[in-house]
Amino acid sequence: MSELDRTAGSPCRPRHFKPNLCAPAPVEGPVRTALDVSHVRLIVAAALFLAAFLVIGGQLVLVMAFRHGEVHAARPQPAVKLAAARADITDRNGILLATTVAASALFADPKEISDPKQTAADLARILPDTTADELYAKLTEPNKSFVWIKRQLTSAQELQVNALGVPGLQFQSEERRIYPKANLVAHITGFTGIDGKGLAVIERGLDGQLRGGEPARLSIDTRVQYILRDAIADQIEQFSAIGGMGIVMDVRSGEILALASLPDFDPNDPGGAVPDQLFDRATLGTYEMGSTFKIFNTAMVLESRVATMSTPFDATHPLQIDRFTIHDDHAQNRWLTVAEVFEYSSNIGPARMALAAGIDRQRDFLGRLGLLRQPSFELPEVSAPLIPSPWRTVNSMTIAFGHGMSVSPLQMATAVSAVVNGGILYPPTLLAHDPDHMPAGRQVMAPGISDEMRRLLRLVVTGGTGKFAESAGYVVGGKTGTAEKVAGRHYARKELLSSFIGVFPINEPRYLVMISIDEPHGNRASSGFATGGWVAAPGVGRVVERMAPLVGIHPVDENSPEISQALLVDMPVPEGRKLAAD
């Protein structure tokens, strides 16, 4: 009997089970109907889900591909564009002079301060420029939910306030202007207010540019600035002066490498400065500059051909004009050539030279040098000159030797630069020039007269009143000046402004260095003198020695035939000298 025969009519349980031989029989009747209905429902539901997915996907594609512009336009836009941070100020070498950093402002909700007295006392210890009483008054203001406590906190102050754990104290982010070089460049950078607006000097003069995010690269060389400020401070201390000022200028471009006025202040804390510290003597002060003004009078008579180097002028006796008597501090009591008038810093000689030239020539020449108008400059704090009106003969004579007309040191430096650089007047600037686009300047004086003036300026240092400005190897030329300051309608004889204007190398001028010391007092080392030759000239000499290597000026043999010949001054004996000796 076969295997299949044995299992017929019985449950399918083969010894070696094979599924295909024992598959269940198809379902029939009501069960089959129910299964078919379920299958149809599943298919319909899946189709509906697929249709919904396709509709939603299509809408997304439509929005992204075709309606992007509409959707972008519908997005809420900021009402006001956020302002850029105030831009940096750097020196010509990229040294940071002013920058903006993140800061915090502290405010309080008095209603949330549970112990205002203790909180005020704690805050007063953290914020030294406040008092507990002031803070307590703020923290107990009735019906107030917001009061400012302190703007522009330092990071350390913010941490200390946070550590108090007082719920009613909160912070708001803002910006703070800082000045890494502090006092060194105070009268150059200036400062801003709490709102970030420029209030003084470059910060004010270039406020629009800096607030717009455009940085300012200045012509200042921080290294030279330090040297100049240090020299001025030394002379102030040595001669017990009330202040001083100085300028270093590139005579070929008008760029200012250093500008200092002492006493100065910390621009990080301008509120702690007194008015005398905020006052810029170099640009805002106007002074009768004394014998330094003889530079212009001498150049005027030479250019107008009223005189030559060898033309003699009578300096045998003091000169009387109206109620004034003009006399020489270094009297030679004889006739002097133009060269000797300059070398000995005579007052009588320039007065007679001005008489010979006339008022019109004098006024025209000073005007060409920019000495009769307010200079154009990046700083708002710039003074206009004080000139006589009417301009009479006596004014012309006193202006010739530096009295009766007041200008700023900035104007002096600019005009002297034109006298020595070949007669080209460059506007003074605190902004660094592009080396490929240097300013053209304006010719205001004959180049040949400039050459003669350089020889005279060298003569002052080698044999005149400026010998203490000599710097071995750097061929300095210059002029001393000592002026009595005006007090009301009279001169204060013991209140001097002592100055020296130096140029180096004088044979090929590159830089001008000017120092003025305000109200110096003579000492034992100066034999009691407080003149420009004793007080300011040594300071200029030290500046030249220290800055020359930094700006690429190499020492030379000043006695070499080439330099000696370039600076040789023809000093013929004037005919009047023999007459005076008889």
Q: Measured in whole angstroms, how far is the alpha carbon of residue 441 from the centre of its chain? A: 22
Strand, coil or helix: what is 283?
A: coil
Residues 6+ apart with CB under 8 A from 280: 187, 201, 245, 261, 379, 381
d(CA 25, CA 216): 96
Q: What is the 3-state secondary structure (H, E, C) of 154-181?
A: CHHHHHHHHHHCCCCEEEEEEEEEECCC
Give the C-alpha distances (Å, rounded to integers) separating 464 from 417, 456, 468, 537: 21, 10, 10, 12
d(CA 433, CA 427): 12
Helix (H) or strand (E) holding 123: helix 116-126
Strand, coil or helix: what is 479?
A: strand
d(CA 318, CA 327): 5
What single letter denotes the amino acid at residue 36?
D
Q: How many CB atoms lie within 10 A of CB 263?
A: 18
What's the alpha-carbon Rg for the chain, to the nearest Å?
Answer: 42
Burial of 69 (0-12, 13-18, 19+ CB in 10 A): exposed
DSSP for 195-251 reads TS-B-SHHHHHTHHHHHTT--EEBS--HHHHHHHHHHHHHHHHHTT-SEEEEEEEET
d(CA 137, CA 143): 13
Q: How many CB atoms lie within 10 A of CB 3?
A: 9
Q: How many CB atoms lie within 10 A of CB 544?
A: 28
Active site residues: 291
What single letter denotes the amino acid at residue 519?
E
Selection from 364, 246, 344 nearest residue 299 by Cα: 364
**Cβ contact 215:89 at 8 Å:** yes
d(CA 195, CA 215): 18
- β-pair type (216-217, 89-90): parallel
